[in-house]
Amino acid sequence: MDLIAQRSAPILDAMRELRKRRIVPFDVPGHKRGRGNPELLDFLGEKCVGIDVNSMKMLDNLGHPISVIREAEDLLADAFGANHAFLMVGGTTSAVQAMIFTNIREGEEVLLPRNVHKSVINALVLCGGIPVYVPVQVNPKIGIATGMELEEVRKAMDAHPDAKAILVNNPTYYGIASDLKGIVELAHARGIKVLADEAHGTHLYFGENLPISGMAAGADMAAVSMHKSGGSLTQSSVLLTGPNIDPEYVRQIINLTQTTSASYLLMVSLDISRRNLALHGRESFGKVFGMAEYARSEINEIGGYYAYGRELVNGKDVYDFDVTKLSVYTQGIGLTGIEVYDLLRDEYDIQIEFGDIGNILAYISIGDRLQDIERLVGAMEDIKERYGKDSTDLYCGDFISPELVVNPKEAFYADKVQLPLQESIGRICAEIVMCYPPGIPILTPGERITPEIVEYIEFSRERGCSLQGTMDPECRKLNVIR
């Protein structure tokens, strides 16, 4: 990394120059630096609304960058160790989908774990690709899917020699990492591209004692959520490519779906955040590492909770663990993760990342303080004392991996009928069903609905999970192939 070059921020400099010039706007957006919408100006402030502008010569154009945006992308690539980098303003969803669209065409296979984000499945619905699921194990103590074991990846590649790519969560939402470098070696020996979903892995590029990053492992493409652990604004993201990917073709793919009215607020936040991480990331994430380990130790001292960490690593399905993820199993105090999530928000004014059937995740990043960690630990201790109960009646949290019968595109666009949950058993699902967050599908288009899946959906609803993706807002009915 060129640390001297990394001190610059070309988009930020261009935005500052724009402010100085006091240009009279006869272009969009129509609020004209906020003058046309005083309430918006009052709420967000002139500094923010004043740089909500359209593409112009001095600011470059995201769809075809030739000046400051191109320079910002080059700096991103240097900071992340990639051959090329793209600013993404549609979230990491758009970056993940660009990876799929670049490598998978109608009828072609992609290998992936079942616990992928819904953006992957949605991309396959659009492009007509065929998912081939690599079996994943379930940790019986905490009820979550782990990573892809190298031997299972090998078997899947042997069984599907024509697969074009493999997608790897690096890490999972809970912090579990597969042997990415080993997967890259296996895949490249067979001409298979490796796509890393690093929605939760920005810090892997800048921290120490963490799982290997996608680019360092030799992945062909990586989708990185800068806004999650990297400090940029929500919805801003980065797409990275390696030496075997044509960046100009990727640009064409991105431009198929990305807005032509890219937000300069998002782009300048990426530019500033990249500079901050390149210059101070190692120090910042060292502090994050320390806070997470402290919180993990304190929570485990409470009893009942289980804040898990590197002790899960076995060199196989848990090849490594991202210790900055404060993932906590809650059923030991008789409460589901979603119940603890709700209590923290409603009773203690603490907003954590998510709660599921068995776990919560408190996202710790460069913006956290030690006193915030102590407040969280104190609230969790209080919840145990006030709300804890017997855990014998709680769901065990088995990971359900449905049978894929029809490819997702065919199922999604098929003639369908809506049936009550119980009546849908045995039919083929024609839509996505998921708990959000984390956004991992319970069912995807083309999968067979079983009694166990229906039971899991109903249990999730009873416990307060937000069920999404279905045409029925309450998820009491499912669309199935007629």
Q: What is the mean pLDDT of residues 248-260?
A: 96
Q: What is the mean pLDDT of residues 435-453?
A: 88
Q: Is 308 exposed, middle or buried (0-12, 13-18, 19+ CB in 10 A)?
A: buried
In this prediction, residue 398 carries a pLDDT of 56
Taking only the tens place, the pLDDT of each residue in 123-152 is: 999 999 999 999 998 888 888 889 999 999
Q: State the Cα–Cα distance between residues 77 and 326, nearest whole angstrom.
A: 29
Distance between start and end Cα atoms, the chain: 56
User: What is d(CA 64, CA 54) in angstroms, rounded to the nearest whole number?
Assistant: 14
| pTM (predicted TM-score) | 0.94
Closest by CA position to 76, among listed 270, 310, 367: 270
C-alpha–C-alpha distance, residues 334 and 321, integer Å? 26
Contacts of 65 (CB under 8 A, 6+ apart): 73
Q: Is the pLDDT of residue 396 over 60?
A: no
Task: Give the mean model confidence (pLDDT) for residues 182-199.
Answer: 98
For the cut 70, the answer to whether the pLDDT of residue 392 exceeds it is no
Closest C-alpha among 323, 320, 313 to residue 292 = 323
Per-residue pLDDT tens for 329-340?
999 999 989 999
Beta bridge partners of 479: 418
pLDDT of residue 394: 59
| pLDDT of residue 361 exceeding 90 | yes
Question: Which whole number is the average pLDDT over 421-441?
Answer: 89
Q: What per-residue confidence (pLDDT) applies to 6?
A: 96
pLDDT higher than 90, residue 81:
yes
Contact residues for 318 (Cβ-Cβ < 8 A; gap 6+)? 139, 146, 147, 176, 177, 312
Of 205, 209, 178, give the one whose Cα is nearest residue 116: 178
- Rounded Cα distance between 294 and 286, Å, is 12
Checking if the pLDDT of 385 tops 90, the result is yes
Secondary structure (3-state) at 121: helix
pLDDT band at 157 (very low <50, low <70, confident <90, very high): very high
Residue 239 pLDDT > 90: yes
DSSP per-residue letters across 187-236: HHHTT-EEEEEETT-GGGGT-SSSPPPHHHHT-SEEEE-HHHHS---TT-
Write down the residue that tokens 């963490």 correspond to.
210
Which is nearest to 409 in space by CA: 384, 380, 364, 445? 445
Q: Which domains are assigned to the chain?
A: 5-278 (3.40.640.10), 281-387 (3.90.1150.10), 408-481 (3.90.105.10)
Identify the CA nearest to 362 among candidates 371, 370, 348, 373. Answer: 373
Strand order of the β-sheet with 359-363 is 306-307, 325-329, 359-363, 354-355
Tokens for 196?
């890393």
Q: What does the pLDDT read at residue 257?
A: 94
CA distance 340 to 464: 11
Nearest to 125 by CA among 443, 445, 427, 414: 445
Residues 6 or more apart from 285 whose CB is under 8 A from it?
A: 203, 206, 207, 208, 210, 324, 366
pLDDT at 362: 96
- For 175, the token pair is 């912090």
Q: Give the three-state DSSP class for 152.
A: helix
Mean pLDDT of 255-280: 96
